[in-house]
Structure 1
Amino acid sequence: MAQSVLHRDPRVDFFRGAAFIIILIAHIPSNWVAQWIPARFGFSDATEMFVFMSGFAAGIAFGGTYRTAGFWLGTARIYFRAWQVYVANLLLFFFVLVLMLAANAWLYADTDYVTQLALNYFLDDTGRALLGLFSMTYVPNFFDILPMYIVVLLMVPVFMALSRIHPLAGYAGCLVLYAANYVFIFELPAEVSPDRDFRAWFFNPFAWQLLFFTGFAMSMGYLKLPRFRWWLAALCLALIAVGVVYSRYGLWSWSDTLSDLRGQLVDLRCQNWRGDGADRCYFWTKSNLDVVRILHFLAIAYLVVWALKGRERVLTMGWAQPILQCGRQSLPVFMFSMILSRVYNVLMDQTERTTWEEIAFNVVAVANLIAIAYLLGWLKSNPWRPHKPARTPAPEAQGQAQGGARWGNAVPAPGSAE
């Protein structure tokens, strides 16, 4: 047991790292390379991968604390992590705002970068916006992922309390909350200006919590990975194929039959089941985590996990090390991916933005993100301290080993998956 916890599960780090790289590319406006990210060929995208892996990693990082130190210390650790993410969100906002102000002041471009991010209100009504920013009632769209993550983290103690009644009670509660969100549409305000129309958080935490806790429950061993079945694999492949056909590139338009079928599906999904006159298509957006997006992501995850079963070492080879390093430094790398997306948008606007120029800028941006990840890893290793012999893993590692083993043979080191 002790030996297994000395190694990180490469799948956790690899897919988190891949998600951060995709997020970087996807958040550069008018980016030609972004046309070729996985999101353009299916229903789900890197957000689903990020949220699921965050839940799985949280189960590994905090599950052992709940099991060995008790409910209240586990909850304290969760709240401390939520506080860290809260501070990170504020730092990200102010850093990006200052960068955009500097770009407007010092660089030539036709774009007003503050307006592009819809941050004018913060400058026009700073007092009210500042209160909204700190209370998370003012959430500009570019800064909407971390607030959702904070709220979901705050749900972990409730999940764990229910799981003490029955291992599946917590996850059942998540399903009930997801269904209730469809019926009642719980929304958190993202605008504080009385002169503006109501706008909800883009990522509704009451919907996205389901994917987070799917990963969390699998990590804790409450949910089991379905056994490999050819018929199930065929269903997954079929759903993925449908996602490709009905992707944004409109392959469905090549066939009248596919076009008609698509129209029928849209009508079905937008049907007003409640009969209250509301536009039910709202529910099927990304904001409320369309059930089709969940199924599409789980189909991909099922095939990938079984394809890598017994072959996990391929993700530890040299070619994968930069991606793994990005995944190991989760929160700061995510923040830098968002920052770099704005920096390289500004830099690309100083050029003609030809296809080759955009490809080159994307390569350099990803290289920068990887370099930052390695720098962060080096700093976290405390290179200024004398080397000490490795210590025996803490008792908490046993709880983490139990969680990580649900998904593979190797497990992240204690506390490193946060």
Structure 2
Amino acid sequence: MRRVWQLYVAHVLLFVFYAAAIGYVAQRYGHSHLLDEFNVAGLIEQPVATLTQGLMLKFKPLNLDVLPLYIVLMAGFPPLLIVMMRWPNAALAASISVYLSARLFGWNFSAYPSGDWYFNPFTWQLLFTLGAWAALGGRARMQVLARSRAVLAASIAFVVFAAVVTLADRFETTAFLPTGMLEWFVPNDKTNLAPYRVLHFLAVAVIVVRLVPSDWSGLRSAALQPLIVCGQRSLEVFCVGIFLSFVGHFILEMYSDGLAA
């Protein structure tokens, strides 16, 4: 549970400094709309209630949805690990059941002041469980399937198809797609981790396993060391990235007209 505590402390500190930075910039430069845009207006209108809900992970400014999800998943990981060490397939089956039930019955955590969590813990736990299952022997049990040429071809086809649909929707060039197809994928259900997102994750995993050997020397090359360090320091990278995203947004808003001219 030490990691859970570290994540919670990081979230609280990030929450406070992030909200303070947004409030300062909004007041200093007269951009009051940033308070609503980054969902921190509640701290001005009802500071005590909003801060209390923030400490309970129910109130989250814009872009601070990931850490609360991670905290909840990590807090529930010890009992999951105990079960998975003895009955890995049963643990995975239970995770899939929770995922399907959450999508069917609308399970989610409530958010403050209204709505639900943007990343539904009841559905996103499936990816977390899949990772644990693979690390505890599931990967070896799936080697035969992963080495199948048919599975590899299907995985590549699905990833390419997903890229085509995503880009077509983004650039509003969907006329060439069959009628009704786009309705299956747009709007993209990120909150409840749509099944095609899970399939995409599995497809990418199959491609990587097949095309990147585990003993590939490139994984130990100096060029990839920065990426490896970023993965090892993911919490710090995330916190810095949150601040940089706000700074970048503010700079673009301040100087976009001048750049366009």
The question of 1:148 aligning with 2:59 is answered no
The question of 1:99 aligning with 2:3 is answered no
The question of 1:121 aligning with 2:37 is answered no
1:380-391 aligned within 5 A: none
Q: Which structure 2 segments of 5+ residues have no match?
A: none
Tell me if the contact between 1:246 and 1:252 (Cα under 8 Å) persists in the aligned partners.
no
Change (3 A) 1:331 1:171: same
Match of 2:154 in 1: 235
Match of 1:112 in 2: 33
| 2-structure distance, mates of 1:182, 1:352 | 41
Greater helix fraction, Structure 1 or Structure 2: 2
Match of 2:2 in 1: 80
CA shift for structure 1 position 311: 5.6
The question of 1:259 aligning with 2:178 is answered yes
1:312-391 aligned within 5 A: 312-352=216-256
CA shift for structure 1 position 221: 1.8
CA shift for structure 1 position 355: 7.7
Alignment counterpart, residue 204 of structure 1, candidates 115, 120, 136: 120
Cα deviation, 1:173-229, whole Å, max 9, x if unaligned, reads: 11111111122211211114xxxxx30000001100000111111112244343311
Once the two structures are overlaid, the 10-residue window that deviates more, 230-239 or 344-353, is 344-353
| 2-structure distance, mates of 1:214, 1:154 | 17
SS of equivalent to 1:260 = coil
Change (3 A) 1:189 1:139: farther
CA shift for structure 1 position 329: 1.1
> Amino acid of the residue matched to residue 343 of structure 1?
V
1:164-203 aligned within 5 A: 164-192=85-113, 198-203=114-119
| 2-structure distance, mates of 1:134, 1:213 | 26
Runs of 4+ residues deviating >4 angstroms:
353-356
Tell me if the contact between 1:117 and 1:140 (Cα under 8 Å) persists in the aligned partners.
yes
The question of 1:290 aligning with 2:191 is answered no
SS of equivalent to 1:115 = helix
CA shift for structure 1 position 252: 6.2
| 1-structure distance, mates of 2:9, 2:210 | 38
> Amino acid of the residue matched to residue 313 of structure 1?
S
CA shift for structure 1 position 87: 1.1
Tell me if the contact between 1:140 and 1:190 (Cα under 8 Å) persists in the aligned partners.
no
CA shift for structure 1 position 353: 6.2
Tell me if the contact between 1:138 and 1:189 (Cα under 8 Å) persists in the aligned partners.
no
How big is the alpha-carbon RMSD for the aligned residues of Structure 1 and Structure 2?
2.6
> Amino acid of the residue matched to residue 126 of structure 1?
P
| 2-structure distance, mates of 1:341, 1:308 | 32
Cα deviation, 1:351-373, whole Å, max 9, x if unaligned, reads: 236889xxxxxxxxxxxxxxxxx
Once the two structures are overlaid, the 10-residue window that deviates more, 238-247 or 224-233, is 224-233
Change (3 A) 1:137 1:243: same
CA shift for structure 1 position 262: 1.1
The question of 1:159 aligning with 2:63 is answered no
Alignment counterpart, residue 301 of structure 1, candidates 201, 205, 210: 205
| 2-structure distance, mates of 1:323, 1:353 | 34
| 1-structure distance, mates of 2:76, 2:25 | 39
| 1-structure distance, mates of 2:131, 2:84 | 15
Tell me if the contact between 2:26 and 2:34 (Cα under 8 Å) persists in the aligned partners.
yes
| 1-structure distance, mates of 2:38, 2:92 | 36
Tell me if the contact between 1:159 and 1:171 (Cα under 8 Å) persists in the aligned partners.
no
Match of 1:216 in 2: 132
- State the identity as a percent: 25
CA shift for structure 1 position 154: 1.6
Tell me if the contact between 1:178 and 1:207 (Cα under 8 Å) persists in the aligned partners.
yes
Tell me if the contact between 2:84 and 2:133 (Cα under 8 Å) persists in the aligned partners.
no
Higher normalized contact order (CA 8 Å, seq sep 6+, divided by chain length): 1
Tell me if the contact between 1:245 and 1:252 (Cα under 8 Å) persists in the aligned partners.
no
> Amino acid of the residue matched to residue 33 of structure 2?
D
Using the size of structure 2 for normalisation, the TM-score is 0.87
CA shift for structure 1 position 136: 1.7
